[in-house]
Amino acid sequence: MKNLTATGLRLIAIWALLQALGYIQFLPVYFTDQYQNVNAAGLGMLIVFLIYITAAAILFFKAPAIAIKMSGNFEEPQLQINNYQKFTAILFAAVGLLIFFNALETFSYSVGNIYNDRAMNPQAPNRLFREIRILLFGGGIQIILGAGLFVGGKKIANWWHNFRNWT
């Protein structure tokens, strides 16, 4: 189970790296004379890029240590999943990471738009401010949900297993 968990974490790390590659197009601005013209949205994209790269590195290189924390350190049979409760915990944790990293993009986009709109015209009421706040609220909920699934994967899997046996 530990090897399967480490493999899953490394796959998520590769996914996070691929997500970070989408933000590489914004990096040259920070090394040119146009850096002074970068607004809050541009800085938000840099922060998201750094979060993706950091998460990818941690998940890829620390996958065995994280896998031991997630699934326990015990001898396992050869590629045989005989404990579906632990497998379900790993799946919940993996889905939690996917939701969390997808939510970072939505959340940072909303924060960047709020700062950008306020900087452009601080006195005028913004008609898009409500929609941006809704996106911000949705991104925050997704971040909480993703972190909750990742951190509480074992408890959710235990509940799921008990619920399936009850019905």
Provide the residue-wise pLDDT of the chain in tens; the chain has 167 residues: 677 777 788 878 878 887 787 777 666 666 665 556 666 666 777 888 889 999 999 998 998 888 888 776 666 555 454 466 777 778 778 888 888 888 887 777 777 777 777 677 766 666 566 666 666 777 778 788 888 888 888 887 777 777 766 65
Return the half-sphere exposure (C-beta side, CA atoms, 13 A cut-off) of residue 118.
Answer: 10
Tokens 């189970």: give the residue. Answer: 1
Q: Which of helix, strand or coil describes residue 167?
A: coil
Closest CA to 92 of 106, 71, 78: 71
Q: Are 67 and 9 in contact (CB under 8 A)?
A: yes
Residue 74: predicted pLDDT: 62
Query: Is 0.85 surpassed by the pTM of this model?
Result: no
Give the per-residue pLDDT at 29: 64
